């Protein structure tokens, strides 16, 4: 059961030389030939300036039109560090709940989506919680990502004990429901989909990407999976690890996940500093800014966000290490 939506490059100023009227040698009202030529030059300069302005405006308009034609999926204003770090993006967000009784293949969840349809359709992302957890553990990502221009589905799994392979199938079932049956299906571009997940949900994210190579982006958050090799993945993948993770230590999970991905794949690894396995369960600016950038870059093909991914994130108070292949080619 669902419930409804609650100058132009700098041109130097034209200068014209004016010749004083020598009235004592000219009849009243006459102007010297030199002055007439000066006025003529002034008119020519003004005409050229106006033509330059018009040409520049036309060029800008054509360029903007060409860019829009090159990427019809670009959504939202030009990004900045502050915009990708903000707790909310430029879109107002609505949400609707999905009961487990009304779906099959997963345990229901909550859909967050941009309220306005003025910009057309959006890409969509399904997000799975981890072992023994519910969608509430990853709920902060719903409105945060949706406000940047995505339809986001935070799901519950069939049981809280489901393993990564099952969670991967459930992520795909959630995307199928989202695009084929849900009340927001008309808002979604079915060719632009991605998956995310925490812990075993992160392991499930890799499973989903392996199974459905048409996915545009995958983001495991401190992922856990006994399978540590993923050479079959063809989806651009951003892996988050945590330097203090004792449940899915980076040395036995996130790092081998990353290393096993094809060398030709657009991929990245960000290790959070001072973080634990459960850091993704709370609002986190570092996770959000790079997740937004990754989803924008690969689901929306929005190269305006490449600047936040390449060069790779620098070591800082919140980033212990980063790896990746820059520039991206997808």
Q: Which residues are catalytic?
A: 199, 245, 277
Residue 227 burial by Cβ neighbours in a 10 Å radius (0-12, 13-18, 19+):
middle
User: In 3D, which of 85, 82, 84, 90 has the Cα closest to residue 122?
Assistant: 90
Rounded Cα distance between 131 and 159, Å, is: 9
Rounded Cα distance between 144 and 288, Å, is: 8
224 neighbors 214 (Cβ within 8 angstroms): no
242 neighbors 271 (Cβ within 8 angstroms): yes
Rounded Cα distance between 66 and 61, Å, is: 8
For the record, the structure tokens of 126 come out as 């399904």
Q: Pseudo-torsion of CA 220, 188, 216, 112, nearest 10°?
A: -20
Match 């553990």 to its residue by tokens: 137
Q: Angle 119-175-78 (CA atoms, 0-180°, nearest 5)? A: 30
310 neighbors 298 (Cβ within 8 angstroms): no
């Amino acid at each position: 059961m669902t419930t409804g939506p609650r100058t132009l490059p700098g041109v130097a100023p034209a200068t014209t030389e004016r010749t004083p009227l020598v009235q004592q040698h000219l009849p009243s009202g006459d102007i010297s030939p030199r002055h007439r030529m000066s006025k003529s030059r002034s008119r020519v300069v003004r005409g050229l300036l106006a033509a330059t302005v018009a040409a520049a405006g036309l060029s800008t308009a054509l360029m903007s039109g060409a860019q829009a034609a090159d990427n019809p999926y670009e959504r939202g204003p030009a990004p900045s560090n502050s915009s990708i770090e903000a707790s909310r993006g430029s879109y107002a967000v609505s949400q609707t709940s999905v009961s487990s009784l009304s779906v099959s293949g997963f345990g229901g969840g909550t859909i967050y989506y941009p309220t306005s349809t003025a910009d057309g359709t959006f890409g969509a992302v399904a997000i799975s919680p981890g072992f023994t957890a519910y969608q509430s553990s990853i709920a902060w990502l719903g409105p945060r990502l949706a406000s940047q221009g995505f339809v986001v589905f935070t799901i519950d799994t069939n049981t809280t004990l489901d393993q990564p392979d099952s969670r991967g199938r459930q992520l795909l079932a959630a995307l199928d429901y989202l695009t084929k049956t849900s009340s927001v299906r008309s808002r979604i571009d079915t060719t632009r989909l991605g998956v995310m997940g925490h812990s075993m949900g992160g392991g499930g994210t890799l499973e989903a990407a392996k199974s459905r190579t048409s996915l545009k982006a995958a983001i495991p958050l401190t992922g856990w999976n006994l399978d540590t090799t993923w050479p079959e993945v063809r989806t651009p993948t951003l892996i988050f690890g945590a330097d203090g993770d004792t449940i899915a230590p980076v040395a036995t999970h996130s790092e081998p996940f990353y290393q096993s991905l094809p060398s030709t794949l657009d991929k990245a690894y960000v290790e959070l500093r001072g973080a634990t396995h459960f850091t993704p369960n709370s609002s986190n600016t570092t996770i959000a800014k790079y997740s937004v950038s990754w989803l924008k870059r690969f689901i929306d093909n929005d190269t305006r966000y490449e600047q936040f991914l390449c060069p790779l994130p620098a070591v800082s108070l919140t980033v212990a290490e980063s790896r990746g292949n820059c520039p991206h080619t997808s």
